[in-house]
Amino acid sequence: MGLVTTKKMFEMAYKNGYAVGAFNVNNMEITQGIVTAIAKAKAPLILQISRGARQYASMSYLKAIIDVAVAENPDIPISMHLDHGDTVEICKQCVDDGFTSVMIDASHHSFEENIRMTHEVVEYAHAHGVVVEAELGQLGGIEEDVVGVEDVSAHLTDPSQAEEFVEKSGCDSLAVAVGTSHGAYKFKTEPKLAFDVIEEIGKRLPGYPLVMHGSSSVLKEFKDLINQYGGNMPDAMGVPEAAISKAAKMAICKVNIDTDLRMALTAKIRQVFAEKPAEFDPRKYLGPGRDAIEKMVEHKLNVLGCTGKASECK
């Protein structure tokens, strides 16, 4: 069926109380693990590409890998999304490169400048049949070039501003700050998401899809394996999965997951190196890493509630 936008996905997610998983891709093994899980679960899929991914693998390689995934899974709706585009120019370039969804992240600018930049991207993207995600409020943590604030509770999205922002910018979905944070070291104590903010924005913008970034759970299984086999992540902490499931039943229609992918791959590679120190064949350690990603993604789809929802999102 080819690449699709997220429009139908979000319509159905909002209507039926689930969220679509948006997974960051950096290479073939990560993509294969994600897509294999998606195909088994018959779920809709958003494959995200960040600036760091483009710098690492180049757009041509990543696009080719995604093209194969789409061709081999014609019954699965797949969207290719730009994650955290920081300039109008890069968003326009990704529209020209075949992305079906782009994110303009101007949240670090003033409210007025954020609206202006977002509106400019919206006009260009919509003219090419591409949808736009924007961001309002600021998250904590660090992920690639995205550096967040220290006190996430002081930078939550203002529901009244969200209403004005969507009306003036014309964006198709909005990433909101509700207490999540980028990276593996998100919090010092167990976080509490601002469900009241999600609820209030939902009341002001009925039917409008919200997005939750910084939503990896930093699964204990992988943290323990990494630490057991020479890693040093004792204080890593993520978003509780129960909170993610609750948000997915509200107005949150897209949940970003990146750190959990990295940890699954790294944990299994470390395990192979420790248990089989003579191993030098990349297929023998990347393969188990790919399998770990597949199992983790299957689990996440159940957390999000989107298992079996592919057919209604076409």
Catalytic residues: 83
Residue 239 buriedness (CB in 10 A; 0-12 / 13-18 / 19+):
buried
**Tokens linked to 296:** 């983790």
- Provide the 8-state DSSP code for 307: T
| Strand blocks (E) in 86-214 | 101-104, 131-136, 140-143, 146-147, 173-176, 181-182, 210-212
Q: Are 219 and 240 in contact (CB under 8 A)?
A: no
Q: What tokens were used for 294?
A: 């597949």
Cα angle: 6, vertex 131, 3; to 5 degrees: 50
- 3-class state of residue 269 by DSSP: helix
DSSP state of 140: E
Identify which of 246, 194, 243 has the alpha carbon closest to the alpha carbon of residue 17: 246
